[in-house]
Amino acid sequence: MNLKNQVEWALHCCAVMMALPEGVYLPAKVLAEFHGVPKEYLSKALQALSQHGIVIGTLGPSGGYRLARAPDQISFLDIVEAVEGKRSTFRCEEIRGNNPCVPRRHRAGKPCTVARIMWKADEAWRESLRGVSLTDLAAQLAEDVPDDVLAKSRAWLLERA
């Protein structure tokens, strides 16, 4: 059970886009080169973000992507769910319906205990991601990443925006 690598890419892209000045857009091509990932496939992830209203994409030269709202209004969960989907990781195949001792009653009934427990764990995962915003990420990054690397990256990106 693995998350798609697009999740990682999308998160990094959003982190990078926080540095954009008002009205400036970053093309997928640049984001792909910056992260060293295939442009075409990364585009799919960015389009997913766009469809979920997390980023805004504009066409034409000087077009590209930027965040659709303030970083403190974008959570990790928003981003993860945009590319990974909202469905629970636990798939219930209703195998209790195969129990030879159960006539019919149970089958269309409410989800069983096992499923509820698994879904609750899933919700705990989501809740954890819901609690972290891009602003939180930025604060941590400022501590972790040396200032010169941050500045150089910023300059590298703006040159190509």
- List contacts with a second copy (CB under 8 A): 1-5, 7-9, 11-12, 15, 33-37, 76, 84-85, 89-93, 95-102, 105-106, 112-114, 116-118, 120-122, 124-129, 132, 137, 140-141, 144-146, 149, 152-153, 156
d(CA 14, CA 30): 13
Q: 58 or 128: whose CB is closer to a second copy?
A: 128
Q: What residues from 59 to 98 belong to the interface with ligand SF4 (CB under 6 A)?
A: 92-96
Q: What tokens were used for 44? A: 């799919």
Binding segment (CB under 7 A) for DNA, from list 10-18, 59-67, 120-128, 132-140: 59-67
Closest to 67 measured CA to CA, from 28, 29, 13, 31 = 13
Element (H, E) at 66: strand 64-67
Which of 35, 5, 14, 23 is CA-nearest to residue 78?
14
Task: Name residues whose C-beta falls within 8 Å of residue 134's C-beta, 6 or more positions apart in sequence.
Answer: 14, 15, 18, 67, 71, 72, 74, 75
With CB under 5 to 8 Å by kind, the binding choice for 36 among DNA, a second copy, ligand SF4, none is: a second copy
> Is position 114 an interface residue for ligand SF4 (rule: CB under 6 A)?
yes
Told to check if 131 binds ligand SF4 by CB under 6 A, we report: no
Binding site for ligand SF4 (CB under 6 A): 8, 12, 92-96, 111-112, 114-115
